[in-house]
Structure 1
Amino acid sequence: MTLLLMAAGRGSRYGKLKQFDDLGPQGEFLMEFSMYDAIENGFDHIVVITQKENIDFLKEHMAGRLPEGVKFDVVSQELTDLPASSTFEGHREKPWGTAHAVWSARNVINGPFAVINADDYYGKNAFVAASNFIKNSTDDTEFALMGYTLKDTLSEYGSVSRGVCKMDADENFISVDERLKLEKQGDIVKDTDTELEFTGDELVSMNFWVCRPSFFDYVENEFEVFLKDEDRIKNSELYLPIVIQDMYAVDKAKVRVVPANSNWFGVTYSEDRQFAVDQLQAMTQEDGYKTPLWN
């Protein structure tokens, strides 16, 4: 099983590359705790998607840390990485989006894989659930979304964007509705962009997905269409949740919402940093993380 971590962001709200901030008790990156939890639950291949200029740094940082038998790949997300039948000769600074980031790993992944953000902490139980899902699912079209409780994913330092899950009675995925400015207001959570109110008990996507290799072929086809649309090239990106939702809509994927039953925290704002440091320190003392994390 493979864990793919997306670490190609630029950290505009955080102020620096938060993926490589030394938040752990011994200077570990936040992503290392996800790697550790994944390996503890049977994942034996780690892939990190990052910017080209970070590849050597990350390889050097992780050298000798992962257990023997765990494969480690670092892949860059490049604007020039296009389908064979496509070309792009314009100017663009932003990357092509999170779905393209995952597609960038198509040549190093050949089985089911989990996808997460490198700058989020997802919790031990989430990796237990993801591992069990992969091991118990025999359907090559079955994807999964790890669902987190909305009220447990907010920041004290500003509004957050979250994808609120819509499910049927059997917890099968219907859609993820993006809400862009969610913040706690008394006993409710409000999206100040739309004035919609939520109880806080809703399950939301924190971008922890379990995918199948069929994802790569679908993204490639979608990317070819995307590159023929001049307006989309200028202003849009290929987003991972939207692509999976589209696969579901055209019966290319079944999607199960699996409760993560885990705490989550991230480092969206610079003010979130101390909370993350304190949480990792506490979990090292109470939840069995070793220090240093790797032998």
Structure 2
Amino acid sequence: MENKPTLLVLAAGMGSRYGGNKQIDGFGPNGETILEYSIYDAIRAGFGKIVLIVREEILQLTKDLLLPKLEGKIEVDFVLQSITSFVPEEFINPERVKPYGTAHAVLCAKDAISEPFAVINADDFYGREAFAVISEFLQNDVRSDLHAMVGYAIQNVLSEHGTVSRGVCSMNAANQLIGMVERTSIAREGNKILAKGDSEEIEIKEGTPVSMNFWGFHQDVFSDIDRMWHEFLPANVENLKAEFFIPTVANNLIEAEEAAFEILEGGKTWFGVTYTEDKPVVIESLQKMHASGEYPENLWK
């Protein structure tokens, strides 16, 4: 298969709510990480390369974990994200400790990717169907002015152990994204799904598509992200908590009519580990998938 897309994995997050490096925690029956299932699904969906964005503290750990298993199966590259990556000297704030967010992480990979690519989180399980639909899009439909995201219904992506943050999507009749609002405190209360803000409470209807940070991009998006990054920095140099997110990039491109985003209906199965208490649920779900034959007894043998 020519022009195989690349999978860009965001694995540099701190895991603060979870309480550890969940990107390299074992969940499968043989200690597999969630990331390994994504890589396995990406390989069988036709991806040709994996690029992992990591922070320096976990680079060697991640290499030791993945490279022996993936040797001969797919090309793997590593890119570092730090709070000074792609930050001109005049905008470096020595007091900043928080990473700059997901769009900054993608920007860090611009020299490692020259083909259409998907973006995922390392600690989310997205399901085989999601990789199949995004791979097909990246090989057949993507253009410099047409990108995509995999949509997931809000009721399928909540946690029983606390609130979650989700990009809540609005779409038109053509299943294209109109805009996305990041809601940072979503939980089910009784028969309602509520997003609570500082001064408002919003009900989100079941079936509403949300972003779980599974995107498909044409490689030309790097120049768009770079342009927005250099607008973001001077506006936020004093804001130590400001982050540069992928949904911000998507919203800006849509509002400027520079690109459209298809919402792909591949989000059938999702689970993740926002909180430590989520871990037993993930372990049980993966065991069932192995037992049903969705995954082999051992992913890499």
Quickly name the TM-score band, shorter chain normalised: over 0.9
Moved more, 119-128 or 210-219: 210-219
**Inter-partner Cα distance in structure 1 for 2:42 and 2:142:** 20
Q: Which amino acid aligns with 2:259?
A: A
Matches within 5 A, 1:74-89: 74-82=78-86, 87-88=91-92
Deviation at 1:82, TM superposition (A): 1.7
Contact 1:111 1:213 in 2 (8 A): yes
Deviation at 1:201, TM superposition (A): 1.3
Matched, 1:290 2:296: yes
Moved more, 22-31 or 67-76: 67-76
Moved more, 9-18 or 55-64: 55-64
State the match for 1:39 in structure 2: 43
TM-score normalised by the chain length of structure 1: 0.94
**Inter-partner Cα distance in structure 2 for 1:226 and 1:169:** 32
**Inter-partner Cα distance in structure 2 for 1:249 and 1:60:** 43
Moved more, 82-91 or 47-56: 82-91
Matches within 5 A, 1:273-284: 273-284=279-290
1:290–1:207 distance in 2 versus 1, CA, 3 Å:
same
SS in 2 for 1:229: helix
The RMSD of aligned alpha carbons is: 1.7
Q: List gaps (5 residues or longer) in structure 1.
A: none
Matches within 5 A, 1:81-230: 81-82=85-86, 87-88=91-92, 90-137=94-141, 139-193=143-197, 194-230=200-236
Deviation at 1:87, TM superposition (A): 4.8
Kindly tell me the number of residue pairs found equivalent between the two proteins.
295
Contact 1:85 1:224 in 2 (8 A): no
Percentage of pairs with the same residue: 38
Contact 2:148 2:261 in 1 (8 A): yes
**Inter-partner Cα distance in structure 1 for 2:34 and 2:206:** 26
Structure 1 residues 222-267: Cα deviation after superposition (integer angstroms, max 9, x where no partner)? 2222222355543311111111211222122211111124110110
SS in 1 for 2:68: coil
State the match for 1:28 in structure 2: 32
**Inter-partner Cα distance in structure 2 for 1:158 and 1:255:** 30
Contact 2:138 2:217 in 1 (8 A): no
1:99–1:86 distance in 2 versus 1, CA, 3 Å:
farther
1:34–1:238 distance in 2 versus 1, CA, 3 Å:
same
Deviation at 1:120, TM superposition (A): 0.4
Deviation at 1:64, TM superposition (A): 2.7
Contact 2:82 2:99 in 1 (8 A): yes
Contact 1:8 1:51 in 2 (8 A): yes
State the match for 2:21 in structure 1: 17
Q: List gaps (5 residues or longer) in structure 2.
A: none
**Inter-partner Cα distance in structure 2 for 1:85 and 1:219:** 19
Deviation at 1:204, TM superposition (A): 0.8
**Inter-partner Cα distance in structure 2 for 1:171 and 1:33:** 28
State the match for 1:55 in structure 2: 59
Deviation at 1:188, TM superposition (A): 2.0
